[in-house]
Amino acid sequence: MSKISIRKIASSIKFANQGLRSFFKDDPKSWLHITAAILVVILGFILEVTRMEWLILVLCIGLVFAAEIFNSAIEKLCNKVEPNIDPQIKIIKDLAAAAVWTLSLTAAIIGCIIFWGKIA
């Protein structure tokens, strides 16, 4: 088993930050998610959500971002493996996009449940 060092951890964090920068720079959908997250946070402050509701909202935001990052990675890998149009690659990309869409809808429903309880 390899020894964990501060240098290896720092290097891993550096690479992860490079990935985040790449995601926000290269993926136009990232700005849609940022906008939605900012609106959720603003609404959370305005409607004074509880600590538990904040935990749920932050978890949903993080999961949607993570799903979109995975989707971007899968798309880039598919494009590298097969730059031409391929039916199997299309299915793989569609499935990855469907995962993001499913999680985004779930997060939106959760947000509506939390916020509707504050408005109604």
pLDDT in tens, 35-66: 999 999 999 999 999 999 999 999 999 999 99
Which residue carries 């995975």 as its tokens?
A: 70
Q: Where are the domains of the chain?
A: 6-119
- Alpha helix (H) ranges present in the chain? 6-26, 29-46, 51-81, 87-119
Please give the angle made by the CA atoms of 58, 28 and 78, to the nearest 5 degrees. Answer: 100
pLDDT digits (tens, 9 = 90+) for 65-99: 999 999 999 999 999 999 999 999 999 999 999 99
Q: What pLDDT does residue 117 have?
A: 87
- 6 against 101, higher pLDDT: 101
Q: What pLDDT does residue 118 have?
A: 87
Calpha distance 57→41 (Å, rounded): 8
Q: Is the dihedral of CA 115, 118, 119, 120 positive or negative?
A: positive
Q: What is the value of pTM for the model shown?
A: 0.87
The answer regarding whether domain 6-119 maps to CATH 3.10.20.30 reads: no
